[in-house]
Homo-oligomer: A and B are copies of this chain.
């Protein structure tokens, strides 16, 4: 039982069960937040009951997560473990306090449950890695942002302070306007009224746009680079399931791995449609597909490939391919297929002979 529970609670697992567990946890967190919020408005007994139930659920879930963890101390001290602990603690507070529930206390329970949402998503581990990789660029842009903010607030205080003392009377007050303007949020609750103030505001909008564009560029390129690195590691792990690549030496394999993409298809999905232009070939690393062409349907399981005929013979697809079990496929785009075929002719020969063997056996 512990093993199946481990699989269900693994935050990076992609199985259907683990997905259901994560969705259920997220929904429970949202219901708990809503109920705790409702107890804040009126002393509602039903809402309080829901809060207690959700709190108990998270306490039990925390115990289960500790139980299945490999190194329990390390897990309990990791960021993920601390968030789960924070989500479990309200249960204790409630038990200690159940006789006379103070509404204010209930209000504070919801924050750890909102944090729960962040740790339920696979892939969120990317974000801290991106931040660490791009640290020095982010510090540069952050410092530029802070300096602009303080310079603008100081100038605004000097230019507008006399006319609008409530909004610009001190630099801390002017900072609020500078922040709202620099991010181009523009609430409009505070607006410069003098000509120099408006010139400053216009310059600040432009400067803010430029700085935030730098931030966007750094984060977007850092994210896509980290995704590429993660995808490489993922394909590297999956490619061992394709016999075709077993004999390829590590150096050439690396070149191929960096050109494959992972795609998953649910049961019944049509992967290829007869008559369409060929744009890729596919390798099955999990699940099973069925070839529905002119002859009897053929099933292809783990380790096989398909879609190579239309690429080799440069003509439209001759069959539908349907996923008869949930599938994980490696996709090789047409352009990349030809490029690899040029650079690794032995691989092309292997694909061609296997392709011919399958066609012959079907006759």
Q: Which residues of A line the B interface, CB within 8 A?
A: 30, 33-34, 36-38, 40-41, 107-108, 110-111, 114-115, 117-118, 120-124, 126-127, 133, 136-137, 139-140, 143-144, 146-147, 150-151, 153-155, 157-158, 161, 169-172, 176, 179-181, 183-189, 191, 195, 198, 201-202, 205-206, 209-210, 212-221, 223-224, 227, 229, 232-233, 236-237, 250-255, 257-258, 263, 277, 279, 312, 314, 333-335, 337-339, 341-342
Which of B188, B214, B216 has a CB less than 8 Å from the CB of A187?
B188
Do A114 and B147 form a contact, CB below 8 Å, given A189-B188, A216-B220? yes
Chain B positions within 8 Å of A339 at CB level? 254-255
Q: Which residues of B contact A209 (CB under 8 A)?
A: 183, 212, 215-216
Number of identical protomers: 4
8 contacts between A and B (CB under 8 A): A108-B158, A176-B198, A179-B198, A184-B185, A185-B185, A209-B216, A236-B277, A254-B338
Q: Are A143 and B120 in contact (CB under 8 A)?
A: yes
CB within 8 A of A40: which of B161, B263, B333?
A: B161
Are the C-beta atoms of B115 and A147 separated by less than 8 Å? yes
Give every chain B residue within 8 A of A40 (Cβ-Cβ): 157, 161, 169-170
Chain B: minimal CB distance from A29 (Å): 8
B107 near A158: Cβ-Cβ < 8 Å: yes
* Contact pick for A171, options B34, B176, B212, CB 8 Å: B34
Contact between B154 and A232, CB atoms less than 8 A apart:
no
B206 touches A183 (CB 8 A): yes
Which 10 A-B pairs have CB atoms at the shortest separation, nearest pair first?
A217-B220, A213-B216, A254-B338, A185-B186, A187-B188, A121-B143, A123-B140, A37-B171, A183-B205, A188-B188
